[in-house]
C-alpha cells in the first residue's frame, strides 16, 4: 500500500511539473520564437503562398494564404492511408497556380518533422502525380500500369515516391506496395483530375526544411528552375527536446517544441499569434509566468456543444426537402463550417439529389442502395466547394449508417 501511495505521489508530482512547464506563457513564448524562423524561411521565396497545416501550423505566422489538413495519423507505420475526406485538392490547385507553396507544421514528439510531413504529404503528392500521369496517358491514347515502383516513366513527369532520408527502406517498401490501391481510390472518387492536370505544369514534390537545415542565403535556389512543383514543408519546431530552458533579459522560461498543437483547444480563449504583441509581462515581485492579455476577444465560455447527427438528421432532411420543393435555397451552418454542416450537406446531397447533382425529390435515392463509394464521391464533390472541410470520421459514419438504413427501408 505504501508503494502504491508513493507511486501516486510521484505521478501527481510529475503531472504538476508538466502543467507548470506547459503554462500559457511558456507555450505562447515558444510559438512566438518558432514563428520568427517560419517568417525567415517564408521571406526566402516570398512569391510562394504560405499554408498552415491544421491543427498545429496555424499558430506560426500572422498571415496565411490558406490552410490544409494533412493528418499525421495517416502516415503512422501501422495506419498508412490515403483519405478521400482530406484530399486537400485546393493545395494542389494553389501550387499549380503559383508554381509551388510552403506548408507550416510542427511536432512535439521528439522528431524534427511530424509524420504529416515525413509520410502523409509525400504519399499525397505521389498519388496525385500518378493519377495525373494516368489521366494524361489516357487522353493521349496510351496506358500506364500503377504497380508499385513499375509505373510507366515519363521524361516530363516524375511519378516516383519521394520520402525523406530518415524514413527507413522497409517503410518505403510498405508504402510503395499500397500506392496502386490509393491511386485507384482517387480515380474512382469522382475527383476532377482534368482541372488539376491542366494547372500543374510540373509534378508535385516535397522538400523539407527545419531549424537545423543549413541554407546559404547567397545561394537560395530559384524554384522556377526546378523540374518539379515544390511543396516546401517547414517544421517550426526548434529542437527534438520537448522542454528546454531559455533565458531572456529578465527571467528564464521553458521552450516547448510543438506548443501550437491542438489549436481547437487553444481557440477556446480566442487567442492568436497576433495577440503575442499584446502580452504585458508583469515585473517586480509578480510571478514571471503570468501575463495580461489586452485583447477584447477573450471568451470565458469554453463549453463545446454536442450534436448527434444520427438523431437530428431526419428533421434536417425533412426541413431541406420541404424548402427545396418550393424552389428555395438552403444555407447550412455550424460553429466551424468544417464538420457538422459538411455532413448535413452530404446527407442532403445523397438523399435528395441524383448522381448528376440535380434535385430529384429523392427518386434516385429510393431506387439505389447507398454504398461507401457513393458517399466518398459525394463528399469529394462537397469538398470541392468547401476547401476547409474537415468532417470527422465519427460524424461521417453516423451519416452513412443513417442513409444506409433509410436506403434499405425504401
Model pLDDT, residue 295: 26
Residue 131: which domain range? 14-141+155-235
Which letter does DSSP use for residue 34 in this model?
Answer: H
**Collapsing DSSP states into helix, strand and coil, what is residue 102?**
strand
Domains contained in the chain, number? 2
Q: Are strands 291-293 and 279-281 parallel, antiparallel or unpaired?
A: antiparallel
Q: Let me know whether 220 and 340 are in one domain.
A: no
Q: Let me know whether 176 and 304 are in one domain.
A: no
The C-alpha cell that represents 397 in the structure block: 459514419
Q: Is residue 4 in some structural domain? A: no
* Chain position carrying cell 430529384: 360
Q: Let me know whether 164 and 90 are in one domain.
A: yes
The phi, psi pair for 235, rounded to 5°, reads -90, 115
Identify which of 38, 43, 32, 40 has the alpha carbon closest to the alpha carbon of residue 53: 38
Contact between residue 351 and residue 366 where contact means Cβ atoms under 8 Å apart: no
Q: Let me know whether 192 and 322 are in one domain.
A: no
Q: Let me know whether 73 and 120 are in one domain.
A: yes
Return d(Cα 221, Cα 99) in angstroms, integer: 14
Return d(Cα 263, Cα 54) in angstroms, integer: 8
Identify which of 68, 77, 193 has the alpha carbon closest to the alpha carbon of residue 127: 193
Q: Let me know whether 182 and 75 are in one domain.
A: yes
Q: Is residue 259 in some structural domain? A: no
| pTM for this predicted structure | 0.76
Q: Is residue 332 in some structural domain? A: yes
Q: Is residue 316 in some structural domain? A: yes
Q: Is residue 65 in some structural domain? A: yes
The C-alpha cell that represents 376 in the structure block: 466518398
Q: Let me know whether 197 and 109 are in one domain.
A: yes
Q: Let me know whether 230 and 307 are in one domain.
A: no
Buried b (16+ CB within 10 A) or exposed e, 238-275: beeebbeeeeeeeeebbbbbbbbbebeebeebebebeb
Bridge partners, 243 (sequence order): 256
Q: Let me know whether 106 and 209 are in one domain.
A: yes
Q: Let me know whether 178 and 301 are in one domain.
A: no
Q: Is residue 64 in some structural domain? A: yes
Q: Is residue 258 in some structural domain? A: no
Return d(Cα 287, Cα 305) in angstroms, integer: 35
Q: Let me know whether 203 and 320 are in one domain.
A: no
Q: Let me know whether 96 and 190 are in one domain.
A: yes
Q: Is residue 148 in some structural domain? A: no
Buried b (16+ CB within 10 A) or exposed e, 198-218: eebebbbbbbbbbbeeeeeee
- Taking the chain (410 residues) in consecutive chunks of 10 residues, what is each chunk's mean pLDDT? 57 62 76 92 96 88 92 85 90 96 88 92 97 94 50 67 94 94 93 94 96 87 93 87 59 80 51 44 33 30 48 85 84 80 89 86 86 88 83 88 79
Q: What is the dihedral of CA 153, 83, 270, 330, to 10 degrees?
A: 110
Amino acid at each position: 500500500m505504501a508503494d502504491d501511495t508513493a507511486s501516486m505521489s510521484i505521478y501527481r508530482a510529475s503531472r504538476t511539473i508538466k502543467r507548470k512547464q506547459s503554462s500559457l506563457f511558456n507555450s505562447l513564448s515558444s510559438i512566438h520564437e518558432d514563428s520568427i524562423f517560419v517568417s525567415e524561411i517564408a521571406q526566402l521565396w516570398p512569391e510562394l503562398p504560405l499554408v498552415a497545416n491544421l491543427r498545429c501550423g496555424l499558430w506560426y505566422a500572422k498571415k496565411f494564404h490558406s490552410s490544409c489538413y494533412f493528418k499525421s495519423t495517416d502516415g503512422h507505420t501501422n495506419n498508412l492511408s490515403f483519405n478521400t475526406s482530406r484530399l486537400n485538392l485546393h493545395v494542389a490547385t494553389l501550387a499549380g497556380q503559383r508554381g509551388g507553396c510552403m506548408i507550416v507544421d510542427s511536432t512535439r514528439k521528439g522528431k524534427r518533422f511530424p509524420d504529416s510531413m515525413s509520410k502523409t504529404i509525400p504519399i499525397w503528392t505521389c498519388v496525385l502525380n500518378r493519377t495525373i500521369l494516368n489521366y494524361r496517358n489516357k487522353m493521349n491514347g496510351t496506358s500506364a500500369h500503377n504497380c508499385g515502383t513499375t509505373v510507366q516513366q515519363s521524361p516530363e513527369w516524375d511519378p516516383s515516391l519521394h520520402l525523406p532520408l530518415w524514413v527507413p527502406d522497409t517503410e518505403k517498401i510498405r508504402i510503395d506496395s499500397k500506392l496502386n490501391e490509393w491511386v485507384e481510390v482517387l480515380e474512382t472518387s469522382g475527383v476532377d483530375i482534368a482541372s488539376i492536370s491542366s494547372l500543374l505544369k510540373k509534378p508535385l514534390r516535397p522538400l523539407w526544411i527545419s531549424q537545423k537545415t543549413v541554407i546559404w542565403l547567397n545561394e537560395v535556389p530559384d524554384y522556377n528552375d526546378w523540374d518539379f512543383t515544390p511543396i516546401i514543408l517547414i517544421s517550426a519546431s526548434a529542437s527534438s527536446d520537448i522542454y528546454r530552458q531559455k533565458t531572456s533579459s529578465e527571467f528564464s522560461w521553458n521552450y516547448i517544441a510543438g506548443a501550437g498543437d491542438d489549436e481547437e483547444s487553444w481557440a477556446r480563449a480566442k487567442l492568436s499569434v497576433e495577440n503575442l504583441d499584446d502580452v504585458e509581462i508583469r515585473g517586480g515581485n509578480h510571478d514571471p509566468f503570468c501575463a495580461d492579455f489586452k485583447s477584447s476577444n477573450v471568451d470565458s465560455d469554453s463549453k463545446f456543444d454536442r450534436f448527434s447527427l444520427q438523431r437530428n438528421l431526419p428533421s434536417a432532411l425533412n426541413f431541406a426537402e420541404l424548402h427545396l420543393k418550393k424552389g428555395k435555397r438552403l444555407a447550412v451552418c455550424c460553429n466551424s463550417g468544417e464538420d457538422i454542416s459538411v455532413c448535413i450537406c452530404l446527407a442532403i446531397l445523397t438523399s435528395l439529389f441524383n448522381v448528376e447533382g440535380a434535385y430529384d425529390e429523392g427518386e434516385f435515392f429510393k431506387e439505389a442502395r447507398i454504398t461507401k463509394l457513393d458517399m466518398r464521391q459525394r463528399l469529394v464533390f462537397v469538398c470541392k466547394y468547401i476547401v476547409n472541410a474537415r468532417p470527422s470520421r465519427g460524424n461521417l459514419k453516423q451519416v452513412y449508417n443513417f442513409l444506409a438504413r433509410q436506403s434499405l427501408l425504401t
